[in-house]
Amino acid sequence: MVQATPLLLVLFLALGAHGLQAAQQCELTGHWHNDLGSNMTIYEVKENGDFDGKYLTKVSVSPLKIVESPLVGSQQLPYPSQPTFGFTVHWNFSDTITVFTGQCFVDDDGKEVLKTMWLLRLHSEDLGNDWKAT
């Protein structure tokens, strides 16, 4: 029985370490940036999953000066380790709104990564031109 103890301990440590790695939490709260240089800050995620923050894009077709814009969103509850979420940005420098949806992942190196898709809506003056506003 004495010889089996070290093997069981090593096996337990290996299984335990794997379990700890899988349980890493991905937190939306904080500062994020993307490949194009845009920056987003998400303030505290509330108990109901709601959050707000700010977004500063580096990409725009608007001729106006780009300024920081507010965002509001919500994440999946109860807080899973890699939650799905959605948020809306009301651009302060144009007549557009963008909605984002995605998921927060922890990669193999322990780095938090947001994977998102987005949809931008332009203001349309009339119903006939609605097709080109999204």
Enumerate the β-bridge partners of residue 55: 40, 69
**Report field, pTM of the whole predicted structure over 0.95:** no
Residue 18, pLDDT score: 45
Q: Residue 17 belongs to what H/E stretch?
A: helix 4-22
Q: Which domains are seen in the chain, by residue range?
A: 30-124 (2.40.128.30)
Q: What is the CA radius of gyration of the chain?
A: 21
pLDDT tens track for 47-70: 999 999 999 999 887 888 999 999
CA distance linking residue 53 with residue 56, whole number of Å: 10
Query: Residue 120 is which amino acid?
Result: L
User: For residues 102 and 74, is the Cβ–Cβ distance under 8 A?
Assistant: no
